[in-house]
Amino acid sequence: MARLNLRKDEDPILRKKSRPVTVFDKKLRTFAEDMIETMHEEYGLGLAAVQVGKLRRLITYDLYDEKGPGVLVNPELIESEGECEGVEGCLSVSDIRGYVHRPQKLKVKGQDLDGNEIVIEAEDLFARVLCHEMDHLDGILFTDKMTREYIPEVEDDEDDDSEEEM
């Protein structure tokens, strides 16, 4: 496995729309493994292929629970419910965190690394991570949706544990 280089801040590739994955082979599987390794080394909860310079509709995620890391190819939001506001950060955006409104619950359709269709239902933090990463695939950064900046020095202690890097 290899650690991939993260694209940061105003790198123009981060604003481009990713193309669907059409070939499901060993190369794709290796790339997904490298993305997971990179995400873990950066202590991220999610990573989109575009963040490492590949315009492909592929995301990885890990909530660091018993389920372990996951990969979703060609993800597509098919249902959402409710709304909540939370603090987000991003491995590709330096030195800023902010509040973003996201669905409370959602259902996403996509494919696994073998090309099989899968449906994922997610709530709360998992739903936030999936939305954040799927936005990347369309050239959208969390700062585009941010309602206000999160400044740790002035926030209550109870909000501190909601800050996440995606």
- Catalytically annotated residues: 133
Q: 18, 15, 12, 5: which is closest to 59 by C-alpha?
A: 18
97 three-state secondary structure:
strand
C-alpha–C-alpha distance, residues 96 and 5, integer Å? 20
Gap between the terminal Cα atoms of the chain: 21
The torsion angles phi and psi of 26, rounded to 5 degrees, stand at -65, -35
Which residue type sits at 80?
S
**DSSP-H helix ranges across 6-165:** 26-41, 124-137, 142-145
Phi, psi (rounded to 5 degrees) for 94: -80, 145
